[in-house]
Amino acid sequence: MEAVHVTERLRYRLLSGPDDIAFCERVSEVLAEGYVLHGGPAATFDGSRVIVAQAVTLPTNETRPT
């Protein structure tokens, strides 16, 4: 799977990939950039490994938690 590099900060992103340390690091990186988790993670099994997904959103001034 080829990595896609986003140059602008999208308000919504869905991160997905194998359930490994690299995926956890990707989620941690976007959280450090100001994104927040949106809902719980999803997981499925592709026959050889667990694939996970996590939605994140970038709060606006109107939606930023207080």
Q: Give the whole-angstrom CA distance, residue 19 versus residue 44.
A: 10
Q: What is the mean pLDDT of residues 24-28?
A: 98
Q: What is the mean pLDDT of residues 34-41?
A: 98
Q: Where are the alpha helices (DSSP H) in 1-64?
A: 21-32
Q: How many other C-beta atoms lie within 10 A of the C-beta of residue 38?
A: 13
10 neighbors 34 (Cβ within 8 angstroms): no
Q: Which residues contact 38 (CB under 8 A, 6 or more apart)?
A: 12, 55, 56, 57
pLDDT category of residue 4 using cuts at 50, 70 and 90: low
Q: What is the mean pLDDT of the chain?
A: 90
